[in-house]
Amino acid sequence: MQSIRNVAIIAHVDHGKTTLVDKIIHASQIFREGTETGDLILDNQDLEKERGITITSKNVSVRYKGIKINIIDTPGHSDFGGEVERVLKMADGVLLLVDAFEGPMPQTRFVLSKALSLGLKPIVVINKVDKENCRPDEVHEQVFDLMFNLDATEDQLDFQTLYGSSKHGWMSTDWKQQTDSITPLLDAIVEFIPPAPVSEGDPQMQITSLDYSNYVGRIAIGRVKRGEIKEGANLALSKKDGSLKRIKIREVQTFEGLGKTKVESVGSGDICALVGIEDFDLGDTVTTMENPDIIPRIAIDEPTMSMLFTINNSPFFGKEGKFVTSRHLRDRLFRETEKNLALRIEETSSEDKFNVFGRGILHLSVLIETMRREGYELQVGQPQVLIKEIDGVKSEPIEHLVVDVPQETSGKVIELVTQRKGELKIMEPKGDLQHLEFDIPARGIIGLRNNVLTSTAGEAIMTHRFSHYAPFKGEIPGRINGSLIAMESGPATAYSIDKLQDRGVFFVDPGDDLYEGQVIGEHSRENDLVVNVQKGKKLTNMRASGSDNNVKIAPAKKFSLEEALEYIQKDEYLEVTPKSIRMRKILLTENERKRAGNAALSS
């Protein structure tokens, strides 16, 4: 009997998944008594902690009653869906974590359907039963209905359920009986999750994840499917094009606790990290040169969007960041491609401009946000979709968009998607939701998520994958209104913002320092308008009665990074620094913009 259990944790954003892993780690006494660890040990990126989302999957392992339990934390967000499928390939069972008040949420559905279709055995954990108004029994029914709607097998429907509170560190099979420890959950994992199968023979492993270290470079992670992989072994790597490449395993590591431990060999069923393999891709198979046995590849989504990254050359350059030169920018971007596989970088004819290709706005915005946290200043252009010429026809990427949405708001979603040249392919009831499938140009997805979530009160689950290239579908309506642009540099005054309020919506507050050419608002009409918001009130020594009422200004509209990326136009840049996000025209002075406009007309 193999003493390894591989289990993935599935949960909706903010249902306490990472907190539960913390408690399991503490329960198995990985840390010495008195070690200060803080909360959310696994979400080690600041961005993950703040947004409360897991962006990259992580592995930890604990030992309980002589059995090794590998725990794989999965991203809950559908934009990182490609990550989820690969990670589930390493597991034999899943822990489905559900909030005792909210019940199963839309995004849980996406990951759970993948897990069930892979035949993984679920254990349901109903968390936060100490909350007021919680309804564990109803939630249990909802989970059963959800699995039934997702075509779970009878064995999967016969799942074990535990109730408890990750925060207070207890689990029990009956929510009315509070215990004092989390061990009932560990007992359930040992009892109900099937042991990792042992398979003798030539070594075989598929690379499903990767890590990066500044000392040894890229590290391949995967689950050994067959045989034993030893340190110093001469093996082969099967590449995407079908070729075989000789490799030597420099080091084998297994996951122990939060870190990795160097071992001499690792047997089938365990998850391990291999050091010393050069130039590998996700989905490659580690096998033998003599009789190669190749595992079918996992598809990695192609980049469908590009963005121009350039150094910050605005008048406020260098005030807030510490990495501001093109060399800094270049080194940082190329370092990112080592561990972020869906990202590609292309140099341009200019030294300080780089085209960065990614999976979508969220994918690229996580990179930009991480860079600004590290102290980088940069500017990015409007996201562009990759257009190719195929057989002499201008073609664009088409995404296969799947939206699961409550019946009553499905009409609104269809209207929003068809406005953006989406074609409805399938419409069918899926349990209690309406299941819609569209083919939509990738351009149409920019800015769509916000609109769909707004019109469905956050109930829609949107997932999209690159499907194919098809002939260009024509113009898609974008932003209709023009921009309000600052005429000169200096702080904005309440007096002039108040006088200009009928011209549009402002993005800046009185007192904000501005520069000429900065986009400071949205014009109420289609054209751009240059306005002077620095002008103060002419002061006289006479006081007019009643005219000095307090100025009432509508609050400035503030953008998140993703919203700003979706908002900017072709002739605008987004300036990103550690402290601020500003929109600006690429050409700052009005004369330059007019000259460029006249040159475009005459050509």
Structural domains of the chain, ranges and CATH numbers in brackets: 4-192 (3.40.50.300), 204-287 (2.40.30.10), 388-471 (3.30.70.240), 483-602 (2.40.50.250)
Taking alpha carbons only, the member of 323, 309, 364 closest to residue 340 is 364
Of these ranges, 143-152, 187-196, 306-315, the one predicted with the greatest mean pLDDT is 306-315
Q: Provide the annotated binding site for GTP.
A: 14-19, 127-130
Reported confidence tier of residue 494, pLDDT bands at 50, 70, 90: confident
Tokens 């949420």 belong to residue: 105
CA dihedral 109, 115, 116, 118 (to 10 degrees): 150
Instruction: Give SS3 for 314.
Output: coil
Rounded Cα gap, residues 124 and 156, in angstroms: 11
* Mean of per-residue pLDDT scores for the chain: 80
Q: List, for residues 543-559, the tens digit of each pLDDT value.
A: 554 554 566 788 888 88
pLDDT at 124 over 90: no
pLDDT over 80 at 471, yes or no: yes
Lowest mean pLDDT among 13-27, 155-169, 475-489: 13-27
* Mean per-residue pLDDT, 357-367: 81
Q: What is the pLDDT of residue 36?
A: 36
Q: Mean per-residue pLDDT for 452-457?
A: 82
- What is residue 543's predicted lDDT score, i.e. its pLDDT? 59
- Percentage of residues in the chain having pLDDT higher than 70: 87
pLDDT at 83 over 50: yes
Does residue 53 surpass a pLDDT of 50?
A: no
Tokens of 305: 């969007």
Distance between CA atoms of residues 517 and 498, nearest Å: 20
Report the first-to-last Cα separation within the chain, whole angstroms.
76
Q: Is residue 461 within 8 Å of residue 109, measured between CB atoms? A: yes
Where residue 168 falls among pLDDT bands split at 50, 70, 90? confident
Residue 378: its pLDDT value, please? 92
User: What is the pLDDT at residue 405?
Assistant: 86
Answer whether residue 514 shows pLDDT above 80: yes
Strand partners, 399: 440, 466
Average pLDDT of span 196-223: 82
Give the annotated binding-site residues.
14-19, 127-130
Residue 365, pLDDT > 60, answer: yes
Give, in degrees to the nearest 5, the angle at Cα 262 between 225 and 210. 55
Q: Decide if pLDDT at 57 tops 60.
A: no
pTM of the predicted structure, to 2 decimals: 0.71
The reported pLDDT for the residue numbered 55 is 45
Of 93 and 211, the structure prediction assigns the larger pLDDT to 93
Nearest CA to 147 out of 139, 427, 460, 101 is that of 139
Task: Choose the weakest-confidence range: 19-23, 143-147, 320-324.
Answer: 19-23
Tell me the mean pLDDT in the region 452-459. Answer: 82
Q: What mean pLDDT do residues 351-368 have?
A: 84
Counting every residue written for the chain, the total comes to 603
Q: Which residues contact 343 (CB under 8 A, 6 or more apart)?
A: 303, 336, 337, 356, 357, 358, 363, 367
pLDDT at 58 over 50: yes
Asked whether 69 and 186 are in contact (CB, 8 A), the reply is yes
**What pLDDT, on the 0 to 100 scale, is given for residue 1?**
41
Mean predicted confidence (pLDDT) in 519-532: 90
- pLDDT tens, residue by residue, 383-442: 888 888 888 888 888 888 888 888 888 888 999 899 888 999 888 887 677 888 899 988
pLDDT of residue 118 exceeding 90: no
Residue that is written with structure tokens 């535990």 in the block: 162
Please tell me the predicted confidence (pLDDT) of residue 577: 93
Report DSSP state, residue 332: H
